Amino acid sequence: MNQPLALGIDIGGTNTSYGVVDRRGRILAKGSMATKGGSVLEYIDNLKGEVNKVMDEAGRENVIAAGVGAPNANFFTGEIAYAANLPWEGVIPLAKLIGEALHLKVTITNDANAAALGEMMYGAAKGMKDFILVTLGTGVGSGFVANGELIYGHDGFAGELGHVIAVRDGRKCGCGRNGCLERYSSATGIVITAEEWLQDRQDESILRDHQGKLSAKLIHEAAEKGDKLALEIFDYTAKILGQALADAVAITSPQAIIFFGGLAKSGPLLFNPVRKYLEENVLRVFKNKIMLVQSDLPDSDAAILGASALVW
């Protein structure tokens, strides 16, 4: 008997990746294309042509449905609304448009929620019913799973850890508020901290050679070499993240917090101080109960796997 397959589509601000996946998480065929470059209808038309190729390669007749992860995507309405990192304005009925183009049932959710489902089905959260997935990339994304179910809230937008106010009256955020977590504990946030400190302080640091052109990777490399300012920047970033996670733990009592994304690859430089500040700030009943885990999913395939998990 032919096995059922899922189509996973991840729509990012720059690229869209897609693939056909079986229930065990094996990607049978995959590809990618540019997201930008035209209207949403032109994008859907291009996507249809590219996705049809991988479905033909994997066995189109076995593809039962599609899952889509995208910024600001709403699980309940099938729409993306005012996504700052996508090239289309307003509210787009994305699930309907893709479904009509591909003649498939389509389910969408935001990219961090899709990543959480991927971890639960194929990755580090397999077998867990209560966990938080935190993506540390350009921003901070998150997906909250409780009692084995992804928390969407009444309108589909629950679980926005990146937009809790971590520093009162702090840095201006792209969402319009001040002091959001992602302005401090993302790959973007750590660079902002470094640039501010280099300007305001006189510490010697190899980061000064890259002032104005810093990246999270450069700061990581400097910290690994023992640069005191870079190490202090990591500690500051981890402190704000650990404190915010301590608050999140009090709400859902997770078994684990799973980290994904570029900044999460910093390993002990980030995780050791995050654990320290989490344990210092968490309620006593939760102390030493929360596992901090790095994602098990391969970087290049994680987005496709997460989106495909929506189908199952």
pLDDT at 199: 94
pLDDT at 303: 87
Integer Cα distance of 40 and 20 in angstroms: 23
pLDDT at 14: 83
* Contact by Cβ (8 Å): 177, 165: yes
pLDDT at 82: 81
Residues in the chain: 312
**Which residues of the chain fall short of a pLDDT of 50?**
1
How many CA atoms does the CB half-sphere of 27 hold within 13 Å? 23
Q: What is the pTM of this model?
A: 0.89
* Contact by Cβ (8 Å): 180, 162: yes
At 57, phi and psi to the nearest 5? -65, -40
End-to-end CA distance of the chain: 18
Burial 113-147 (b: 16+ CB within 10 A, else e): bbbbbbbbbbbbbeebebbbbbbbbbbbbbbbbee
Which value, to the nearest 10 degrees, does the dihedral of the CA atoms of residues 152, 239, 260, 125 take? -60
Burial 246-268 (b: 16+ CB within 10 A, else e): bebbeebebbbbbbbbbbbbbee
Residue 292, helix vs strand vs coil: strand
